[in-house]
Amino acid sequence: MRIAEVATRMVKEAACQAFYQADRVGLAPRRRRLPVLCYHRVNPGGPDYLSYDQRLRVSPATFEAQLAYLKKRYTPISFADLVRWQRGESPLPRNPVVITFDDGYRDFFQHAHPLLRRMGIPATLFVVNSYIDSQPKPWWEEVALVFEKTREPALSLKDVGLGQGILAIGDSRAAACHAVINAMTAISQDARDEAVGRLATCLGVSLDASPPQPVFLSWQELATMAEVGLEVGLHGRSHALLDRVGPLQAEAEIGQGKAELEERLGRKVVAFACPVQVAPNATARDSLHRSGFAVVCTTPGLNRLPSLDLYDIHRLLVYEEPLPIFAARVAGLLFRPTHPTEGY
Ligand SMILES: [Zn+2]
Q: How far is the CA of 53 from the centre of ligand 1 (A)?
A: 13
Tens of pLDDT along 161-173?
888 888 899 878 8
Q: Give me the mean pLDDT over the 248-264 stretch.
A: 97
Q: What is the pLDDT of residues 203-233, one digit of tens each?
A: 999 887 666 678 899 999 999 999 999 999 9
In the predicted structure, residue 35 carries a pLDDT above the cut 70: yes
Give residue 9 CA to ligand 1 midpoint distance, Å.
Answer: 30
pLDDT exceeds cutoff 60 at 339? no
Query: In the predicted model, is pLDDT for residue 258 greater than 90?
Result: yes
Average pLDDT over residues 5-31: 75
- What's the gap in Å between 235 CA and the centre of ligand 1? 7
Q: Is 247 exposed, middle or buried (0-12, 13-18, 19+ CB in 10 A)?
A: exposed
Ligand 1 centre from 181 Cα, in Å? Answer: 13
Torsion of CA 151, 157, 159, 162, to 10 degrees: 130
Digit-coded pLDDT (tens) for 70-112: 999 999 999 999 999 999 999 999 899 999 999 999 999 999 9
> What is each CA distance from 127 to 2, 38, 269, in whole angstroms?
42, 13, 11
* Weakest mean pLDDT among 101-105, 181-185, 192-196, 336-340: 336-340
Amino acid at 306: P
Q: How far is the CA of 85 from the centre of ligand 1 (A)?
A: 27
Question: 124-157: per-residue pLDDT in tens?
Answer: 999 999 999 987 677 888 888 888 889 999 999 9
Work out whether strand 271-273 and strand 295-300 pair parallel, antiparallel, or are unpaired.
Answer: parallel
Q: Give percent above pLDDT 90 in the chain.
A: 62
Cα-to-centroid distance, 276 and ligand 1 (Å)? 5
User: Which bin fits 181, alpha (ψ -120 to 50), beta or left (φ > 0)?
Assistant: alpha
- The values of phi and psi at residue 129, to 5°, are -50, -45
Category of 152 on φ-ψ map: left (φ > 0), alpha (ψ -120 to 50) or beta: beta
pLDDT on residue 340 = 43
CA of 326 to the centre of ligand 1 (A): 21
Give the per-residue pLDDT at 256. 98
| Domains recognised in the chain with CATH numbers | 3-136+211-330 (3.20.20.370), 139-202 (no CATH)
Q: Name beta bridge partners: 271.
A: 295
Q: Does 29 score more than 70 pLDDT?
A: no
- Mean pLDDT taken over the chain: 89
Query: How crowded is the C-beta side of 123, counted as CA atoms within 13 Å?
Result: 28
- Choose among 192, 271, 280, 259: nearest CA to 230: 271
Mean pLDDT on 321-332:
91
Provide the pLDDT confidence category of residue 45 given band limits of 50, 70 and 90.
confident
For 52, half-sphere exposure in the C-beta direction (CA atoms, 13 angstrom radius) is 21
Residue 49 confidence class, pLDDT cut points 50, 70, 90 = confident
| Residues with C-beta atoms within 5 A of ion ligand 1 | 102-103, 275, 344
What pLDDT is attached to residue 341? 45
Q: Which residues of 178-209 are buried (b: 16+ CB within 10 A; e: fewer)?
A: bbbbebbbeeeeeebeebbeebbebbebeeee
